[in-house]
């Protein structure tokens, strides 16, 4: 019987010891922070001697002189099939800039379906070299019937005065927001 008590007593002591050990937090090593400074190597400074520079005047004949402006292409031909988003002279519609003029004209031609939800449709189109609207498509739509009405109104736009880059008519792309509702027709 002593043996059983001795065994039980040793288990109790072992359990108590392990619970005591579990309650003691581990010691943290507290030390001073170590600062590592890189070695500074002194580079020899190169000796630079100033040298004299004389800029002479260059004379041009009056015929050779030309003024350059911002966006000047220096006589290079423009790409024939390039579609521009911004040019030196943007297209105009009815004397207004193309964005406000096209927004007003689209609202004028737009016939909104009777149950159309309120919102905004973004229509993308190009004004070609002759000022015609082409490739009208929806960039961000609202609903299929409203989108098709906006595209139909965009295709009815009158001719623009085409945009110009370096004195040449070019194709310019626009994305125009169209706000719904507009006046609904019964």
- What domains, with CATH codes, occur in the chain? 75-180 (3.30.1150)
User: Tens digits of per-residue pLDDT, 136-147?
Assistant: 999 999 999 999
Average pLDDT over residues 95-117: 89
DSSP 178: E
Looking at 71-117, which runs of residues are DSSP E strands? 83-84, 92-93, 96-97
pLDDT for position 160: 94
Q: Is the pTM of this model over 0.75?
A: no
**Higher-confidence residue: 31 or 52?**
31
Residue 39 has pLDDT above 80, yes or no: no
Spatial neighbors of 121 by CB under 8 A, at least 6 apart, are 138, 140, 141, 142, 146, 147, 150, 177, 178, 180
Average pLDDT over residues 52-68: 56
Determine contact, residues 110/178, Cβ cutoff 8 Å.
Answer: yes
Q: What percent of the chain shows pLDDT beyond 70? A: 63
Structure token digits, residue 183: 């006046």
């Amino acid at each position: 019987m002593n043996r059983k008590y001795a065994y039980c007593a040793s288990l109790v002591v072992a359990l108590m010891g392990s619970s005591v050990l579990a309650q003691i937090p581990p010691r943290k090593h507290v030390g001073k922070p170590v600062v590592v400074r890189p070695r500074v190597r002194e580079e020899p400074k190169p000796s630079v001697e100033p040298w004299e520079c004389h800029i002479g005047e260059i004379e041009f004949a009056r015929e050779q002189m030309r003024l350059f402006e911002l966006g000047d292409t220096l006589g290079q031909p423009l790409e024939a099939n390039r579609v521009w988003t911004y040019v030196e002279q943007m297209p105009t519609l009815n004397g207004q800039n193309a964005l406000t003029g096209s927004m007003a004209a689209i609202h004028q031609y737009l016939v909104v379906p009777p149950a159309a939800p309120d919102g905004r449709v973004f229509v993308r189109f190009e004004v070609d070299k002759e000022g015609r609207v082409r490739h009208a498509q929806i960039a961000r739509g609202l609903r299929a019937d409203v989108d098709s009405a906006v595209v139909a109104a965009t295709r009815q736009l009158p001719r623009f005065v085409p945009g110009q880059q370096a004195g040449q008519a070019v194709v310019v792309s626009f994305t125009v927001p169209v706000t719904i509702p507009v006046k609904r027709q019964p």
